Copies of this chain bind each other. A is one copy, B any other.
Amino acid sequence: MPTTDLSFPSREAHRAWLMSQAALPRGFRVGTSRFEFVPVEVPKPSKMALTIIALDQPTSRFAAMFTKNSFPGAPILVGRKRLAEPTLGAVIINNKISNVCAPDGVAASETVCAATATALGLTPGQILPSSTGVIGWSLPVAAMVGAVPAAVTTLQAGSILPAAEGICTTDLYPKIRRVDLAGGSIVGIAKGAGMIEPNLATMLVYILTDLDVSREDLRTALKDAVDASFNAMSIDSDTSTSDTIVALSSAAVPCPDLAAFRAGLAQVCRDLTEDVVRNGEGVHHVLRVRVTGAPTAGNARSIGKSIVNSPLFQCAIAGNDPNVGRLIAAIGKHAGAEGIALDPARTRLTMGGIEIFAGGAFRLDPVKEKALIAHMKAAELYASVPPADGLTFRPPVSWPPHERSVEITVELGMGPGEALVLGADRTHEYISENADYRS
């Protein structure tokens, strides 16, 4: 899956690369405003960023996909209605509070849209809202409405970086991916670090293009790209209530080749997916699991997900411990529970290219154990360091040092189903991040 294989010796090197990717497609401007507010539920000052992605002209060419979670946030309910609107002119995004199942959440979201519309000379129906952060709390509507004009004054057409930064919550770094194509470009940004097993789309993703593709083509291309990228990864199996992916075309550049556009969009989605996994909360290792020979493609994906979501396997990887028995346990628990026909005798497993299971039994010895440890250590992004307070682990790096992964193949020999699934290990930093996220 990786379409790049980069490494960054420092945060500055990573930032320089991000800036090289950040040029906005024609016809878009982005701006951000940051301000203090006090949540009603826990009255303690907090900071919010309000980000606007605006088109120079409203467009009929837009697509969006949303979470399948049964308790969707108010912005999801509003966003689904927007899909039927003739045109969209801007997206307004806030972090810190996700506006999910908060009293009068839809009204709050619409009020923010209306204020944004007024400031941009649009109608409220032309504004798509997104929110991410704590579930259950109420949006600070008055403070947000007050911050809209400041965000509008920062709108600029040069770089998407301010938006990529503005949508972050617990992300260590902003995520930007681009494809340049036929004189135009496709540029995407993503926020996502926890509550990540998308079911239709990941947390918050915005993809902008100036290439002129029809609304119908854009929606089909987005669905296909998402299916093979965001829907095939999991950091913690926790499908968010706010997952949203939006694609907008300013139609400023003719698109001579729809197939090339679809391929470019798919690449941007795959690259952003990998970015989201690599920047998952507390991630030390990215897992890349290729499952082949499953009865169906759906079985292949669900078996891959069972592996990357297995807490015990995730912990083993975190410790560079080649406890590959847990790999078998994770495959078998899922297949057994779901009634997926498997035959241990036909199953073959590799890690880092090393055969570890074949002919119904493990093929392990001390030499292989050492090679497996070496493969995991080479894929490690960083190691835990003792925390200052003895209890609260923080990542010692705030950029991705490299793009290597722990490579696992699962050959089942049962049928034509295959899938590539991305996931991550489970570490002390994840626990520290999430045991008291709101404080």
Contact = CB atoms under 8 A, between A and B. Distances in A.
A259 interface: no
A390 B428 CA distance: 12
A324 interface: yes
A69 B336 contact: yes
Contacts of A431: 315, 318, 426-428, 431
Contacts of A312: 194-195, 236, 238, 434
A136 B333 contact: no
B326 A238 contact: yes
Contacts of A136: 324-325, 328, 357, 362, 364
Nearest to A197: B333
A293 interface: no
A330 interface: yes
Interface of A: 40-43, 67-72, 98, 100-105, 134-137, 194-195, 197, 199, 236-241, 309-313, 315-316, 318-319, 321, 323-326, 328-333, 335-337, 340, 342, 344, 357, 360-362, 364-366, 369, 384-387, 389-391, 393, 426-428, 430-439
Contacts of A384: 391
The 9 closest A-B pairs by CB, nearest first: A135-B325, A386-B390, A319-B435, A315-B434, A239-B333, A71-B332, A70-B332, A136-B362, A68-B336
Contact of A316 (B101, B239, B311, B435): B435
Contact of A137 (B104, B364, B436): B364
B311 A426 contact: yes
Nearest to A439: B321
Nearest to A310: B238
Classify the secondary structure of A's interface with B: loop
Nearest to A433: B315
A357 B105 CA distance: 14
A22 to B, nearest CB: 31
Q: Which of A105, A318, A333, A439 has the most CB of B within 10 A?
A: A333
Contacts of A319: 434-436
Q: Which of A310, A364, A366 has the most CB of B within 10 A?
A: A364
Given A328-B241, A333-B197, A436-B319, A236 B100 contact: no
A178 to B, nearest CB: 31
A438 to B, nearest CB: 6
Nearest to A362: B136
Given A241-B332, A333-B239, A43 B101 contact: no
Nearest to A200: B336
Nearest to A74: B361
A11 B236 CA distance: 35
Nearest to A328: B71
Nearest to A309: B237
Contact of A195 (B238, B329, B438): B329
A318 B103 contact: no
A274 to B, nearest CB: 20
Contacts of A98: 325
Given A134-B323, A318-B435, A436-B321, A236 B102 contact: no
Contacts of A70: 331-333, 335-336, 340, 342, 344
B344 A71 contact: yes
Contact of A134 (B135, B237, B325): B325
Contact of A333 (B105, B238, B323, B342): B238
Contacts of A103: 361-362
6 contacts: A101-B362, A103-B362, A104-B361, A241-B328, A312-B434, A428-B428
Contacts of A434: 311-312, 315-316, 319
A323 B133 CA distance: 11
A323 B136 CA distance: 9
A378 to B, nearest CB: 18
B366 A332 contact: no
A107 B319 CA distance: 33
